């Protein structure tokens, strides 16, 4: 069993920051719009604020439970409180919502398109690796939690 959930090169914050950076570069080269500007700013701002609130709530919940936030440190407990009641990965959901909110706010199809490979990478590589770690480390706690709470929402 690995000592931590994520020692790999595919670190979630880097995945999303890279996705956002690539989306912004592509937006500069190809500025296709998503929605009318009258919709993009208020909806994008609301989704961005929602993402930040979800991230803050998830981090506070992990800290209150005494388990580290970064995946490159050993998990000490399975957290079922706060946003973890509804999503096994509320921080990754917050990162995805942040990029969606920014894509709407900037009104950038390119920024939205670059979210797709980030979510795929998280869903196909990062999260399964972390789930294997948690199943091995906390088999009696994580398996029932996994069965009762969805991966994303």
Residue ranges of domains in the chain, CATH in brackets: 12-148 (1.20.120.1630)
pLDDT digits (tens, 9 = 90+) for 44-61: 999 999 999 999 999 999
pLDDT digits (tens, 9 = 90+) for 59-88: 999 999 999 998 888 999 999 999 999 999
pLDDT score of 65 = 97
Q: What is the DSSP string of the chain?
A: --SSS--SS--HHHHHHHHHHHHHHHHHH----SS-HHHHHHHHHHHHHHHHHHHHHHHHHHHHHT--SSTTS---S---SGGGGT-S-HHHHHHHHHHHHHHHHHT-HHHHHTHHHHHHHIIIIIHHHHHHHHHHHSHHHHHHHHHHS-S--
Distance of CA 74 to CAs 5, 67, 77, 100, 153, Å?
Answer: 7, 8, 9, 30, 25
Question: How far, in Å, CA of 87 to CA of 89, rounded?
Answer: 5
pLDDT score of 98 = 98
Question: How far, in Å, CA of 7 to CA of 140, rounded?
Answer: 24
pLDDT score of 77 = 96
User: pLDDT class for 10, splitting at 50, 70, 90?
Assistant: confident
pLDDT score of 1 = 66
């Amino acid at each position: 069993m690995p000592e931590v959930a994520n020692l790999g090169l595919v670190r979630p914050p880097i995945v999303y920051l890279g996705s956002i950076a690539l989306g912004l570069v592509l937006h500069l080269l190809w500025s296709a719009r998503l929605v009318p500007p009258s919709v993009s700013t208020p909806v994008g701002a609301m989704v961005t604020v929602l993402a930040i609130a979800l991230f803050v709530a998830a981090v506070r919940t992990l800290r209150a439970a005494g388990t580290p936030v970064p995946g490159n440190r050993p998990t000490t407990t399975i957290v079922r409180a706060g946003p973890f009641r509804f999503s096994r990965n509320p921080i990754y959901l917050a990162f995805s919502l942040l990029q969606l909110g920014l894509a709407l706010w900037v009104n950038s199809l390119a920024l939205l398109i670059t979210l797709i490979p980030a979510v795929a990478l998280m869903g196909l590589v990062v999260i399964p690796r972390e789930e294997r770690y948690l199943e091995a480390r906390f088999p009696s706690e994580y398996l029932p939690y996994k069965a009762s709470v969805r991966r994303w929402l």
